[in-house]
Amino acid sequence: MKNQRVNYLIIISTIILLGLFSRTVTFIPLCIGDFLYAATIYFVVRFLLLKTSKLKIAWITITICFAIEFSQLYQSDWIIGVRKTVPGHFILGQGFLFSDLIAYTFGVLTAFILDRTR
């Protein structure tokens, strides 16, 4: 189980680095960052809940991603202030986009499929 956690930490770190890189290169579409964000959340949840089925992890992850995206419809001074911080920006995002939901869905689905083949 410890080896699995180490493997997931390596995967998470790699995806985060790819996500940060994707934001610095102009020819990479922004949706790739959202795709990688969802994949990262999948592997973080998987890291935390190793004994939970992979399908359940996928459902938990899509719920988290969608909840965060829909929370962006809420606009109040305090939450806008949080979103303006670096961690708040990366975790909570800035504004609701339907296209983000599609990117999250494909990101979770891809992570789930890759995780099943391991």
Q: If you search the block for the tokens 């800035």, which residue do you land on?
A: 94
pLDDT in tens, 69-112: 999 999 899 999 999 998 888 888 888 989 999 999 999 999 99
pLDDT of res. 67: 95
pLDDT band at 58 (very low <50, low <70, confident <90, very high): very high
Query: Does the reported pTM lie above 0.85?
Result: yes
User: Which class for 67: exposed (0-12), middle (13-18), buried (19 or more C-beta within 10 A)?
Assistant: exposed
Quick check: 2 pLDDT over 80?
A: no
> Where along the chain do its domains lie?
2-116
pLDDT of res. 117: 82
